[in-house]
Amino acid sequence: MGMASELTYECPNCRRLMALCEKPFATSSAKAQEMVASAQQRGLTRVNEALGCSSYFAHAYHSWERGLNENTNGLIRQYFPKKMDLRDVSRDEIAFVEERLANRPRKTLDFMTPSEVTSQML
């Protein structure tokens, strides 16, 4: 919890970034994107150090760099097809899909479920 607020509010470029975001988007988009990427990278480095892990930013429109994300999207689409109006989906339907996906064995987890792995870590 402390880490999230630290990354969000104590970033040295936050004020400059917010100022750029308040300007018309077309005139500041390249600089704003550069500042966001820089701030995100610094924050990600701090998170990686705190957790003892490594991670990276996938490039925009490079779906092959986000394998787990794309696989999960495909699993979700089995329940909620593309172009479906998600405003019509009830909380109970979402909870049902969450439960099904959390208890589905995954090859990347040695055929354990995400729920099993999470409970082992806690």
Q: Do 46 and 69 share a domain, yes or no?
A: no
Structure tokens at 42: 């610094």
Is 74 a member of any domain? yes
Tokens 């909380």 appear where? Answer: 91
pLDDT, tens digit (0-9, with 9 covering 90-100), for 65-107:
888 888 899 999 999 999 999 999 999 999 999 999 999 999 8
CA atoms in the 13 A half-sphere facing the CB of 94: 6
Is 84 a member of any domain? yes
Q: Do 42 and 89 share a domain, yes or no?
A: no
Residue 57 one-letter amino acid = F
User: Distance between CA 75 and CA 77 in Å, rounded?
Assistant: 5
Chain mean pLDDT for the chain? 76
In terms of pTM, does the model score above 0.85?
A: no
Q: Do 12 and 37 share a domain, yes or no?
A: yes
- Mean pLDDT value across residues 3-27: 46
Q: Which domain holds residue 89?
A: 63-121
For residue 76, give the nearest of 89, 65, 63 by alpha carbon. 89
User: Distance between CA 115 and CA 119 in Å, rounded?
Assistant: 6
- Mean pLDDT value across residues 29-42: 68
- 46: number of Cβ within 10 Å: 13
Q: Do 73 and 46 share a domain, yes or no?
A: no
Q: Do 43 and 73 share a domain, yes or no?
A: no
Is 57 a member of any domain? no
Q: Do 46 and 93 share a domain, yes or no?
A: no
Q: Do 72 and 113 share a domain, yes or no?
A: yes
Structure tokens at 35: 């500042």
Tokens 């999960």 appear where? Answer: 72
Count of domains in the chain? 2
Is 56 a member of any domain? no
User: Distance between CA 122 and CA 117 in Å, rounded?
Assistant: 9
Q: Do 6 and 39 share a domain, yes or no?
A: yes
